[in-house]
């Protein structure tokens, strides 16, 4: 299978090279013909300098000179893709143990996503911080609104950081609303509209203790505006 990994990253200098080596070894071990597109989204640390150290013909780097948002970075990456199959994964390589299953499932499905809220999934974090509990509650609330308005049928979980999909023409041609955070919602909704084959994979997971989404931030208002704008467009 020919496929392209799209990996948005922001302020990831501490993990980016080790995780590239991890992914590259996975590709070699499983004899996958793959390209990797990293999108550095205006990081203010040494992420871009670390990426420039990767000297591989199958690795391509897009450097946003300013922070455009995760969704914009992904969309810019998709524009560069020539393969039919895409793996969208965060730069910290979440759910890496499920990556092989996602790729294999993509052979018979149009969209494959790990899902933290379906039967078989389990939160393995025993002692959660206030921030983790807060994120969980907020996620459940927005997941409820999303399902009520959009009928995505993903149990309210659209944002897990690992997905595989076939790059259909209606994806390439689509003008997405999302700039910051909710590209995933639009992607899933488009596949639902087209009655595409969608597979969800249960996972063991932990709620991140560190995230670009802060408890108090002006960007949260931008995220909220974007979220409700998407609900209005597709509902």
**Which positions ≥6 away from 155 have C-beta within 8 Å?**
115, 117, 118, 143, 147
- The structure's pTM equals 0.93
pLDDT band for position 216 (cuts 50, 70, 90): low
Tens digits of residue pLDDT in 136-159: 888 889 999 999 999 999 999 999
31, 29, 23: which is closest to 5 by C-alpha? Answer: 23
Q: Average pLDDT, stretch 7-29?
A: 97
Tens digits of residue pLDDT in 91-120: 999 999 999 999 999 999 999 999 999 999
Structural tokens at position 26:
């996975």
pLDDT band for position 206 (cuts 50, 70, 90): confident
CA 27 to chain CA centroid, nearest Å: 19
Structural tokens at position 102:
């996602």
β-strands 33-41, 2-9 pairing: parallel
Residue with tokens 């995505």: 152
Average pLDDT, the chain: 93
29 phi and psi, to 5 degrees? -60, -40
6-22 in b/e burial notation, b at 16+ Cβ within 10 A? bbbbbbbeeebeebbee
Structural tokens at position 158:
């659209």
**Partners of 212 in the beta sheet?**
none
β-strands 122-123, 204-205 pairing: parallel
Check residue 147 and give left, alpha or beta (phi > 0: left; psi -120 to 50: alpha).
alpha
β-strands 59-64, 85-89 pairing: unpaired
């Amino acid at each position: 299978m020919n496929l392209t990994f799209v990996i948005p990253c922001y302020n990831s200098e501490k993990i980016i090279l080790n995780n590239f080596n991890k992914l590259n070894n996975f590709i070699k071990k499983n004899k996958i013909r793959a390209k990797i597109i990293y999108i550095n989204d205006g990081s203010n640390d040494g992420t871009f300098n670390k990426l420039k150290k990767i000297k591989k013909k199958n690795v391509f780097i897009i450097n946003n000179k300013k922070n455009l948002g995760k969704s914009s970075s992904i969309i810019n990456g998709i524009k560069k893709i020539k393969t039919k199959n895409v793996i969208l994964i965060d730069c910290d390589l979440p759910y890496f143990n499920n990556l092989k299953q996602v790729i294999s499932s993509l052979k018979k499905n149009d969209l494959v996503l790990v899902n933290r809220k379906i039967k078989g999934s389990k939160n393995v974090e025993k002692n959660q911080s206030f921030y983790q509990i807060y994120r969980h509650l907020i996620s459940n609330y927005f997941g409820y609104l999303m399902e009520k308005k959009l009928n995505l049928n993903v149990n309210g979980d659209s944002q897990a950081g690992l997905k595989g999909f076939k790059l259909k023409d209606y994806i390439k041609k689509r003008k997405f609303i999302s700039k910051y955070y909710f590209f995933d919602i639009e992607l899933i909704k488009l596949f639902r509209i087209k009655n595409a084959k969608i597979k969800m994979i249960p996972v063991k997971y932990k709620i991140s203790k560190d995230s670009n989404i802060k408890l108090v931030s002006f960007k949260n208002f931008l995220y909220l505006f974007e979220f409700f704008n998407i609900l209005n467009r597709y509902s």
